[in-house]
Amino acid sequence: MKVLVPVKRVVDYNVKVRVKSDGTGVDIANVKMSMNPFDEIAVEEAVRLKEKGVVTEVIAVSCGDAKCQETLRTAMAIGADRGILVETTEELQPLAVAKLLKALVEKEQPQLIILGKQAIDDDANQTGQMLAALTDLPQATFASKVEVADGKATVTREVDGGLETIQLSLPAVITTDLRLNEPRYVTLPNIMKAKKKQLDVFKPEDLGVDVKPRLKTLKVSEPPKRGAGIKVPDVATLVDKLKNEAKVI
């Protein structure tokens, strides 16, 4: 059984991002980059399934510039068997990534595609759903528990009202939530082993996919700074200020 795990290179979650002075985007010059945390959870889950004997091969995939090879090496250090990089300098939007992944799904024929529910840079939460639609595969989003047996995946997913458990026929697409697992610490020996693992590089045109952006970002700005809070003596004063000053009620 083969599992495909898409991973994205994003600004590290510990970094405080800054908007460029011209408002065209986020400044990523000289900023620490790392694997998207939700994708790291997806890699960990795929590797755990392999360790249980359910999965035979884990393939990590990334789409972006040449620096994404670092992210793929990290995935292989966690336990992925090989990596695939779709190399492009074009700005990739969720639909373009979903089309690239669809082409790789058709090429590799995996029984399971596990990816993070969203990336922490754009917070789009679209790629998994778009991939499921393009490939016409069943999907389970926001997974907090995954069990695979007898050609089916049983997924417990987090919904507004609590938890929902559904069963999917494989092949299927699963997107991971934060509580699915805690990724392992990557050891130095595994980092060294990852350098020797197979990493194939393709271009979008090799896969027959047009990745030109469909959306244009007009402006990026930081949220307004919050003012200092005040203490009020009683509920009546609070209601008055909410009504007449804040105008929220």
- Tally of domains within the chain: 1
Q: What is the pLDDT of residues 159-202, one digit of tens each?
A: 888 999 999 999 999 999 999 999 999 999 999 999 999 999 99
Query: Is residue 245 one of the residues assigned to a domain?
Result: no
Query: Is residue 236 one of the residues assigned to a domain?
Result: no
Q: What is the pLDDT of residues 25-56, one digit of tens each?
A: 888 888 899 999 999 999 999 999 999 999 99
Print the domain residue range for 54.
2-223
Query: Is residue 19 one of the residues assigned to a domain?
Result: yes
| CATH (domain of 18) | 3.40.50.620
Q: What percent of the chain has pLDDT over 90?
A: 76
Query: For 26, which DSSP code?
Result: B
Q: What is the pLDDT of residues 54-89, one digit of tens each?
A: 999 999 999 999 999 999 999 999 999 999 999 999
Query: Is residue 121 one of the residues assigned to a domain?
Result: yes
Cα separation, 141 vs 17, in Å, equals 28
Nearest in space to 130 (alpha carbons), one of 121, 120, 118, 122? 118
Query: Is residue 10 one of the residues assigned to a domain?
Result: yes
Query: Is residue 101 one of the residues assigned to a domain?
Result: yes
Q: What is the pLDDT of residues 106-165, one digit of tens each?
A: 999 999 999 999 999 889 999 999 999 999 999 999 999 999 999 999 999 988 889 999
DSSP reduced 3-state for 46: helix
Query: Is residue 48 one of the residues assigned to a domain?
Result: yes
Task: Give the pLDDT confidence score for residue 26 in this predicted structure.
Answer: 85
Helix (H) or strand (E) holding 147: strand 139-149
| CA distance to 1, 45, 122, 195, per residue, from 70 (Å) | 26, 20, 20, 10
**108 burial level (CB within 10 Å; 0-12, 13-18, 19+):** middle
Query: Is residue 241 one of the residues assigned to a domain?
Result: no
Global pTM? Answer: 0.85
